Amino acid sequence: MNTKTLSPRALSVIDQYLHFKYGSAVCSISYFNNKTTRARGGLRVIIGKGSPKEIFEEVEDITVKNHIAINALTDDSLKQLLADNNIGIDCSAFAYYVLNAESEEKKKGHLDKHISFTDCRGVFGKIRCSFRPIENCNVATFANDKNSRVIPIKEMEPGDIITMKSEENNRDHILVIHQIEYQNFIPTIIHYSHAIAYPEDSPYVSGIRQGEIQIISPEKDITEQRWAEDGKENNTNQLFIRAQKSKTEVRRLRWF
């Protein structure tokens, strides 16, 4: 059995979102969807697009302004502080920061040097996207053939993505593959990370999650494998159900 992972730097980005630490408190960064909350413009950190560093600095500002002692925060109260102040991350921004770290570790440069923004039309649209690439990069951007290509399961590697395009635009989703276990060079277990809020989640529960896809038949579609997350498999797994209802593809960034 052989195992491959993302670079330590990219794994560190995932960990900073999954185990966000402030003082002695630790929690997963909440999920934030600026489409459903109608948030536009403003600081990245309050529209679901902030880096771990930007989120830390925003939390620091909030605690100082409200005279909250750092060590007074518990894991639960830190999570509540994030959610109550609309501080979180959406799925595409999470993917962006992780993949950007991996791209730079591969000596391919920053993502904004490669990403094509097909939805940014006109002079002002192109200027907006060039100055605010993270804010304008969504699942459709990653899934566009100019930025990535579909690959078969047998060729999957850490750093690949699974995109889910839905007819409901705000239901698009993306997973980042952070680890793969191989048997005879064929993937057997795919480990992924993503930012999500399931229908049953409260703001104090949503955030970064990890799961795995057991490859039963490499020749078949990714939605025909065994998906497991938080102890729930396939038809009891909300992500699997969502994947089946979407245009779900395994993709690789073209410069990877």
The predicted-structure confidence for 139-159, as pLDDT tens digits, reads as follows 999 999 999 999 999 999 999
pLDDT (tens digit, 9 = 90+) per residue, 49-90?
999 999 999 999 999 999 999 989 999 999 999 999 999 999
* 251 torsion bin: left (phi>0), alpha (psi -120 to 50), beta (else): beta
Give the C-alpha distances (Å, rounded to integers) separating 90 from 12, 47, 148, 219: 18, 9, 20, 31
Find the radius of gyration of the CA atoms of the chain.
18
What local confidence, expressed as pLDDT, does residue 247 receive? 96
Rounded CA gap, 90 and 97, in Å? 11
Residue pair 188/226 in contact by the 8 Å Cβ criterion: no
pLDDT per position as a tens digit, 212-237: 999 999 999 999 999 999 999 999 99
Residue 7: partners with Cβ closer than 8 Å, 6 or more residues away: 101, 102, 105, 106
Q: Who contacts 197 (Cβ-Cβ below 8 Å, separation ≥6)?
A: 31, 33, 203, 206, 207
